[in-house]
Amino acid sequence: MSSKILTFTLNGETIRVVVEPTDMLADVLRDKLNLIGVKKGCGQGECGACTVIMNGDAVTSCIIPALKAEGAVVETIEGIGGPGKYHPLQESFMDLGAIQCGFCTPGMIMSAKALLDKNEQPTREEIREAISGNICRCTGYVKIEKAVSTAAEKIREGK
């Protein structure tokens, strides 16, 4: 097999990593770059657990060939905030109990962030569209929807 060097911007840093043409982006992020916040549920684009933001849009990284990311700007949950300085979405998911087992949470938050980056005042329908590709087996979505709209308020107030 012919390995290649993939160069892309990951969470604000330029990264060069050796990948195989058969590698999917989710596997490179998890196994080669140790970003295990990227979850893998179905591996078929159906559950949204592996959602990352690529060039501004939410995409399911499990069905994106890693080499498609050449030159792209990719964001994962690790890049948006963490202990010490959480993103408003991370804060409101925790504060409002929008997390139970947590497996869907990174993908859910990345889908929500892709929305809020473009639209700080989303309607309920827009929030629902944004997270419609993220399946949660635990929460029932009500608290997730609330957490996203609360985060949007926080972001607007912070300006």
Partner 1 sequence: MLQDYLIPETVEQALSHLQGGKGRARVVAGGTDLLLDLANGKKEAGVLVDLTRIPGLQEITLEDDLIRLGAAVTHNQVAKSKLIQEKASVLARAARSVGSLQIRNTATVVGNVVNAQPAADAAVALVALGAVAEVVSPSGKEYIPVEKLYAGVGKSVLDSTSQIVTRIQFPALLKNQGSAYERLEQRKALALPMLNVAVVVSLADNRFQWARIVMAPVGPGPVRATEAEAILTGADVSLGNIENAAAAARAQANPRSSALRGSREYRLEVLPVLVRRALEAAVVRAGGNC
Ligand X SMILES: Cc1cc2nc3c(=O)[nH]c(=O)nc-3n(C[C@H](O)[C@H](O)[C@H](O)COP(=O)(O)OP(=O)(O)OC[C@H]3O[C@@H](n4cnc5c(N)ncnc54)[C@H](O)[C@@H]3O)c2cc1C
Question: From the list ligand X, ligand FES, partner 1, none, which binds 76 (C-beta under 5 to 8 Å, kind-based)?
Answer: none
Binding mask 103-132 for partner 1 (x = CB under 8 A): --------x-----------------xx-x
Binding of partner 1 by 155 (CB under 8 A): no
Say which entry of ligand FES, ligand X, partner 1, none residue 92 contacts (CB below 5 to 8 A, set by partner kind): none
Question: Could you tell me the two tokens for 40?
Answer: 């893998």
- 45 touching ligand X, by CB under 6 A: yes
Task: Classify 11 in phi/psi space as left (phi over 0), alpha (psi -120 to 50) or beta.
Answer: left
Concatenated DSSP letters for 54-121?
A: ETTEEEEGGGSBGGGGTT-EEE-HHHH-BTTB--HHHHHHHHTT--SS-SSHHHHHHHHHHHHHH-SS
Q: Which does 100 bind (CB under 5 to 8 A by kind): ligand FES, ligand X, partner 1, none?
A: ligand FES
Closest to 58 (Cα-Cα) out of 113, 11, 135, 120? 113
Give the DSSP H or E segment for 9.
strand 4-10
Query: Which residue type, as a one-letter code, is found at position 66?
Result: A
| Total interface residues for ligand X by CB under 6 A | 2
Q: Which is nearer to ligand FES, 115 or 136 (CB)?
A: 136
Kindly write out the interface string for residues 49-88 of this chain, putting x where it contacts partner 1 by CB under 8 A and - elsewhere.
--x-----xxxx--xxx-xx-x------------------
Task: Specify which residues 23 forms β-bridges with.
Answer: none
With respect to partner 1, which residue has the nearer C-beta, 4 or 32?
4
Question: Taking the CB of residue 28, how many other CB atoms lie within 10 A of it?
Answer: 26
Q: Which residues bind ligand FES (CB under 6 A)?
A: 40-43, 45-50, 60, 62, 99-104, 136-139
